[in-house]
């Protein structure tokens, strides 16, 4: 199968930080179809050779294990080409068309890794130039819009030129091996599914903590914030994977129909619920990894009076039969104590106590996404020392490390998703109706927080966020797993 992958934003941050390294890994693993071209597109005036040199230079910053040798890069570089293109000039798309028609590849992927404000321009111009043939697939990075209306407007524009089956909306969390494993755990085994419901589960916690700050993206982040950047997409997709009904098959629409049902079951926010179960915070100066770091308001591109949230903790309520009364807590933030993403499924305690059982760590399934990919089952066991002390039990855990089990050279999220686009598999991409339902759920919070600092809690960089997040969960009688 032959493919052309056109990378709009070909000299941009995402291209060299994530996409080129992922394409190189696929090339190294022998999974990238051999008959392909990767055509970087940008306004710069570069020859193919200059573009290759630029990418090679940037690869020097990639982790050593993922960095190509000169010989490997030489072979990979044969796939790379560059096309100068001004996104607003129709004639430039005409030139791109000529280039693509040189060989009429079986699949043409248009990867739009530009500023979000340019998505509709690119899609419209592609359609005008007749570059929306049945062989074309279009990939859109997040964020797709900043609220329900803008999201709908982008999707409507895209869908005027392309069918839904041609649109691949990326949420890179769906490409993470641990998220694949969550589907496997739930729907490839029969062990947990009978317990996966309100009768046996008391609450579920999704934590995506980052130790990084906003890096060089201060200006972008100012108008985005944690709710749009992480909750509307990544965190809600994790909630969907946790809460969805078993799909009738692994087909894309079977999966996406079930995820959509979860999003539509999310109880809408009321003013009272926002006051009690939605916490927002912003980091101040602190210490991360032993180094002093500035507060958010001192980051480049950020206003001195900024009210943008860098931390969010929420309670999501899924109003359906399976999950009635089971809170899903979501917590995400920048400049927290560690890079740590995990899901905790807390099972209900045994209904009748015959042991002097310690509460806390037991009856819990933990799915770790970052920094390592694994699964731990926390149980209670009878240890030697307990016999002397009487009938109390000790918390123990079974620990499955997927990196050790399958090797750390596993397929990364972008690598997996790029190969899926080339192969035309839509399973791990977000449908427009899912995206709109997710925006619909977060929008009342966006409105309530817009342009004011009511309830915006400062937290010290390097901490676990504002204490209000603990108070929020304590209101239901629970605690974040590391605090119990
Ligand atoms: C991106 C956000 O979607 O996800 C970033 O825009 C965030 O702000 C990143 O840092 C986190 O991804 P990961 O894979 O490092 O957890």
From the alpha carbon of 369, which atom of ligand 1 is closest?
Answer: 16
Distance 462 CA to ligand 1 centre (A): 18
From the alpha carbon of 341, which atom of ligand 1 is closest?
Answer: 16
Distance 211 CA to ligand 1 centre (A): 11
Instruction: Say if residue 217's pLDDT is above 80.
Output: yes
Least Cα distance to 376 among 359, 360, 398 occurs for 398
Residue ranges for the binding site? 43, 86-87, 142, 172, 176, 210, 229, 334
* Mean pLDDT estimate for the chain: 94
Residue 68 to residues 20, 25, 28, 202: CA-CA distances in angstroms? 11, 9, 9, 48
Q: Is 329 left (phi over 0), alpha (psi -120 to 50) or beta?
A: beta
Q: Express each pLDDT in 2-14 by its tens digit.
A: 999 999 999 998 9
What is residue 391's predicted lDDT score, i.e. its pLDDT? Answer: 64
Catalytic residue among 200, 234, 342, 352: 234
Instruction: Say if residue 83's pLDDT is above 90.
Output: yes
Quote the tokens at residue 457.
Answer: 């809690």
Distance 213 CA to ligand 1 centre (A): 11
Strand order from edge to edge, sheet including 311-316: 394-401, 374-381, 364-370, 340-347, 201-209, 328-333, 311-316, 278-284, 456-460
Query: Of all protein residues, whose CA lies closest to atom 4 belonging to ligand 1?
Result: 230
More confident residue, 460 or 381: 460
What is residue 65's predicted lDDT score, i.e. its pLDDT? Answer: 83
What is residue 354's predicted lDDT score, i.e. its pLDDT? Answer: 80
CB atoms within 10 A of CB 477: 8
From the alpha carbon of 212, which atom of ligand 1 is closest?
Answer: 10
Whether the Cβ atoms of residue 200 and residue 348 lie closer than 8 Å to each other: yes
Q: Express each pLDDT in 328-343 by its tens digit.
A: 999 999 999 999 999 9
**Taking the model in full, what pTM does it have?**
0.95
Instruction: Say if residue 444's pLDDT is above 60.
Output: yes
- The architecture of the domain spanning 2-141 is 3-Layer(aba) Sandwich (3.40)
Ligand 1 mutation pick, 22, 113, 229, 371, max ligand atoms within 8 A of CB = 229
Distance 450 CA to ligand 1 centre (A): 22
Quote the tokens at residue 267.
Answer: 């109880």
What is residue 406's predicted lDDT score, i.e. its pLDDT? Answer: 87
What is residue 95's predicted lDDT score, i.e. its pLDDT? Answer: 96
Q: Is 162 helix (H, G, I), strand (E, B) or coil?
A: coil
Residue percentage of the chain with pLDDT more than 90: 86
- The residue ranges of every structural domain in the chain are 2-141, 176-407+430-474
Instruction: Say if residue 386's pLDDT is above 70.
Output: no
Dihedral angle sign, alpha carbons of residues 381, 385, 389, 394 = negative
What is residue 403's predicted lDDT score, i.e. its pLDDT? Answer: 86
What is residue 254's predicted lDDT score, i.e. its pLDDT? Answer: 97
Strands 167-169, 311-316: pairing kind: unpaired
Per DSSP, 112 falls in state E
What is residue 393's predicted lDDT score, i.e. its pLDDT? Answer: 83
Place 380 in a pLDDT band, splitting at 50, 70 and 90: confident
CB atoms within 10 A of CB 114: 22
176-407+430-474 folds as Dihydrodipicolinate Reductase; domain 2 (3.30.360)
Dihedral angle sign, alpha carbons of residues 19, 23, 24, 26 = positive
Residue 27 to residues 68, 333, 411: CA-CA distances in angstroms? 10, 34, 12
Distance CA(19)–CA(418), nearest Å, equals: 8
CB distance 443 to ligand 1 below 6 Å? no
CB distance 229 to ligand 1 below 6 Å? yes
Q: What ipTM was estimated for this complex?
A: 0.99
Q: Express each pLDDT in 230-285 by its tens digit.
A: 999 999 999 999 999 999 999 999 999 999 999 999 999 999 999 999 999 999 99
Q: Express each pLDDT in 320-376 by its tens digit.
A: 999 999 999 999 999 999 999 999 999 998 888 787 765 556 899 999 999 999 999
200 annotated active-site: no
∠ Cα 163 167 168 (to 5°)? 160
Q: How many alpha carbons lie under 13 Å from residue 327 in its C-beta half-sphere?
A: 19
């Amino acid at each position: 199968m032959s493919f052309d992958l056109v990378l709009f934003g070909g000299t941009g941050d995402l291209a060299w930080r994530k996409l080129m390294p992922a394409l190189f890994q696929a090339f190294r693993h022998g999974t990238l179809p051999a008959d392909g071209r990767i055509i970087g597109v940008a306004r710069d005036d570069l020859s193919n050779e200059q573009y290759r040199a630029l990418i090679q230079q940037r690869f020097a910053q990639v982790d050593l294990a993922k960095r190509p040798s000169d010989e490997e890069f030489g072979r990979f570089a044969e796939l790379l080409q560059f096309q100068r293109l001004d996104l607003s000039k129709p004639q430039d798309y005409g030139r791109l068309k000529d280039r693509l028609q040189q060989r009429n590849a079986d699949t043409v992927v248009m990867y739009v890794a530009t500023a979000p404000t340019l998505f509709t321009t690119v899609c419209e111009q592609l359609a005008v130039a007749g570059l929306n043939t049945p062989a074309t697939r279009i990939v859109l990075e997040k964020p797709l819009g900043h609220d329900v209306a803008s999201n709908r407007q982008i999707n409507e524009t895209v869908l005027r030129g392309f069918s839904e089956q041609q649109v691949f909306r990326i949420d890179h969390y769906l490409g993470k091996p641990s998220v694949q494993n969550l589907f496997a755990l739930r729907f490839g085994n029969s062990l947990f599914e009978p317990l996966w419901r309100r009768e046996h589960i008391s609450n579920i916690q999704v934590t995506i903590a980052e130790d990084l700050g906003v890096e060089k993206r201060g200006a972008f982040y100012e108008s985005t914030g944690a709710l749009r950047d992480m909750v509307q997409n990544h965190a809600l997709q994790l909630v969907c994977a946790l809460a969805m009904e078993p799909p009738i098959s692994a087909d894309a629409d079977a999966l996406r129909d079930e995820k959509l049902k979860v999003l539509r079951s999310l109880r809408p926010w009321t003013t009272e619920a926002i006051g009690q179960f939605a916490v927002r915070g912003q980091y101040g100066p602190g210490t991360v990894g032993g180094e002093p770091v500035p507060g958010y308001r001192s980051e480049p591109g950020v206003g001195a009076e900024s009210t943008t949230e860098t931390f969010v903790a929420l309670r999501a309520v899924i109003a359906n039969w399976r999950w009635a009364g089971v809170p899903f807590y979501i917590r995400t933030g920048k400049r927290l104590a560690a890079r740590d993403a995990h899901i905790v499924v807390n099972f209900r305690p045994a209904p009748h106590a015959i042991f002097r059982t310690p509460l806390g760590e037991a009856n819990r399934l933990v799915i770790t996404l970052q920094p390592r990919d694994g699964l731990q089952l926390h149980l209670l066991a009878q240890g030697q020392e307990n016999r002397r002390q009487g009938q109390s039990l000790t918390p123990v855990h079974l620990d499955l490390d997927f990196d050790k089990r399958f090797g750390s050279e596993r397929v990364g999220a972008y690598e997996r998703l790029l190969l899926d686009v080339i192969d035309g598999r839509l399973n791990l991409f977000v449908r427009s109706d899912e995206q709109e339902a997710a925006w619909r759920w977060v929008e009342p919070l966006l409105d309530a927080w817009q342009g004011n600092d009511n309830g915006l809690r400062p937290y010290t960089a390097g901490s676990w966020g504002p204490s209000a997040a603990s108070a929020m969960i304590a209101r239901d009688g629970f605690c974040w797993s590391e605090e119990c």
